[in-house]
A and B are shown apart, each in its own frame.
Chain A
Amino acid sequence: MGITQILFWFLSIAAIFSALMVISSKNPVHSVLWLIVTFFSISGHYIVLNAQFLAIVNVIVYAGAIMVLFLFVIMLMNLNKESEPQKHKWLRIAGAVAGGCLLLVFVAALKDTDIKHQQALVNTGNIGLIKNLGKELFTTYVVPFEISSILFLSAMVGAVVIGKKE
């Protein structure tokens, strides 16, 4: 068992354990903190797969920006034991059945699909390196890259239109 394999098992166990903690912990703030641990361990997986850019973006965007937003929302809502909404017993069962059905469908549909590359490129692939990604982005995909600037510009104009005082 090489170092990569040990790392993989460690990260997998950490990811699954913290993901379970997210849904099982009673305190919403703890849930968010466990979610951050989950994101970090998934970023670890990306590094094992030599996808450095994805790992960094995952940490910055998800564990950084989005989680801070989550924390703000939870603190603004001021959730505690008293204000916790009581869910009906049947509602919970219905939710579990619906979620289970979705899982079943996905597993049934995707269990025997063929994926292009069966082998994960561990430690050797260089697709995920920032240098190669940048090269692709500014040669082959330069047109979509520039077009996305129009998307962001329109979103910014929109934010001003909605947010400005009349």
Chain B
Amino acid sequence: MNALILSAIFGVILMFSGILLKQKAVIRNIAIAGIVLLLAVNILEMCGTVLFHVNTHGMIVFDRFALLFNTIAFVATFIYLILSARDMEKVGVNYAEYFALIFFILCGITLTSSFKSLLILFLGIEIISIPLYILTGSDKRNLKSNEASLKYFLLGAFSTGLMLMGIALIYGARGTFDTLSINMLTEGKPSLLIIAGMLLLLFSMSFKVSAAPFHFWTPDVYDGAPTVFTSFMATIVKAAVFIAFIRLFDDAFGVLQSQWQLFVAIIIVATLFIGNITAVFQQSVKRMLAYSSIAQAGFMMMAVFAMNTDAKEGLLLYAVAYCFATIGIFAVLIKMKDYTFDGFNGFAKQQPILAATTTIFLLSLAGIPLTAGFLSKFYMLKAVMITGQNLWLVIFAILMAAISVYYYFRVIQAMYFKTGDTQVVEVSSTFKWILVILSAVIILLGIYPDIVLNWLYF
């Protein structure tokens, strides 16, 4: 509750700071101070201190899972802001408003991680989506950005319509928005109304996390959006929607698992296949990362498929590993002049530290042991193994992970084994230090994942 209210307040503060303050550095520092404060009050709430007591009638429940995910999201946003906040200046003139929109998105993230009512789910998803449409189109003079924004808006509005239709059908079947009351056993076959509603929700949530066959917007939007904002929406936002996904299907549709499990399995297979195979053929690193984020979504969907304790722990670890690594790569990518694979030629000679950290991030995304990416993938596969009789899915996922190594290593190959002269914008030494710390954290989590997961229980 602390973070929910404070993030909205900070959104408003930053909105006004655009009028009152002229220096961009001051605005940026307010935003960074804001995210630190959000993190602090969220950890306070984990320790049991709730600053605002609001009677939500059971619609929002901040349990450990929600609070831990909020902490992860705030830490990731903090890293994102100190790495890339300066680069937002180049996007357009509305510097303060971009921060305000990011804080509103964080407000939506606290809602999607803690909802117990479909009404809150809808509001949370919308509060996340609408600022994202704007951030996608914020580079107004760039035609690709405009196209991406319009495409994202139209398709996003359509999928929100599907979600509302699903919620309406479920309300018709059960007469309530409360997720726990929806999850009741009924005698005989479950009514068609609730099955139809559940499928519509499944489709719209798959759209929001860009799972195939609902992924068609992703490459264009991630490619067209300004790279600073792609970094934000491909990582933190995607992880948040996954948390909403797993909560929804655990809380509301747990008893119907036999009905939806096959659909989720089909979506996982399609997502892994399309994401990985298409990523192989990309020439631009930014577009490759967009397809790689589809492929990673396939792995995260396995948590929804398995739906047990391991899956939930694994999803949190996956969120950390995926967010940190991808934010790091994007932060480096923003500094590049040329986004193609050839643009990375000879990068290691010029910027040895940046190249080394980027390598660690890429290794983590590929799932090489000793990185957080390996353990998070391991948790996902373990969760599916525990359910029994789904070995084919595990084998298929491992095969696809092997394919993903190819396109991640192409970047490493270009950096270390090819000669060329990379055009890089000047980077400060603080930037390098943060990247080094980030990669150290990724390796640390690859050895001791319990640093994160222990927070779930005590």
Chain A residues near B (Cβ < 8 Å): 109-110, 112-116, 140-141, 143-144, 147-148, 150-151, 153-155, 157-158, 160-162, 164, 166
Contact = CB atoms under 8 A, between A and B. Distances in A.
Contacts of B97: 157, 160-161
Given A109-B196, A147-B123, A154 B104 contact: yes
A114 B191 contact: yes
Interface string B1-36: 000000010011001000000000000000000000
Given A109-B192, A110-B192, A158 B134 contact: yes
Contacts of A150: 8, 11, 104, 107, 127
Given A116-B172, A144-B120, A151-B130, A157 B15 contact: yes
A51 to B, nearest CB: 16
Contacts of B137: 162
> How many B residues touch the partner, as a band?
35 or more
A153 B11 contact: yes
13 contacts: A110-B193, A110-B196, A113-B193, A116-B175, A144-B119, A147-B120, A150-B8, A150-B104, A154-B127, A161-B138, A166-B93, A166-B140, A166-B141
A162 B59 CA distance: 33
Contacts of A143: 54-57, 59-60, 120
Contacts of A155: 130
B92 interface: yes
Interface in B40-81: 54-57, 59-60
Given A110-B192, A113-B193, A151 B92 contact: no
Nearest to B98: A161
A166 B8 contact: no
B100 A157 contact: yes
B133 to A, nearest CB: 7
B94 interface: yes
A154 B11 contact: yes
Contacts of B11: 150, 153-154
Q: What are the 6 tightest A-B residue pairs by CB atom distance, in nearest-first order?
A: A158-B134, A154-B104, A113-B193, A143-B56, A161-B94, A116-B175
- What does DSSP make chain A's interface, helix, strand, loop or mixed? helix
B177 to A, nearest CB: 9
A161 B101 contact: yes
Contact of A153 (B12, B133, B192, B196): B12
Contacts of B220: none
Contact of B131 (A110, A113, A158): A158
B264 interface: no
B104 A162 contact: no
Nearest to A154: B104
Interface in B96-144: 97-98, 100-101, 104, 107, 111, 117, 119-120, 123, 126-127, 130-131, 133-134, 137-138, 140-141
Given A155-B130, A158-B130, A158-B134, 10 more contacts: A109-B196, A113-B192, A113-B193, A147-B123, A150-B104, A150-B127, A153-B15, A154-B11, A161-B94, A162-B140
B370 interface: no
A160 B87 CA distance: 21
Given A113-B173, A151-B126, A157 B120 contact: no
A78 B172 CA distance: 42
A147 B8 CA distance: 9
A150 B134 CA distance: 15
A166 B92 contact: yes
Interface centre among A110, A114, A157, A166 (most CB of B within 10 A): A157
A160 B57 CA distance: 35
Contacts of B138: 161-162
B196 A147 contact: no
Contacts of B131: 154, 157-158
Given A150-B104, A154-B11, A162-B140, A113 B191 contact: yes
Given A110-B192, A154-B127, A161-B94, A140 B134 contact: no
Contacts of A166: 92-93, 140-141
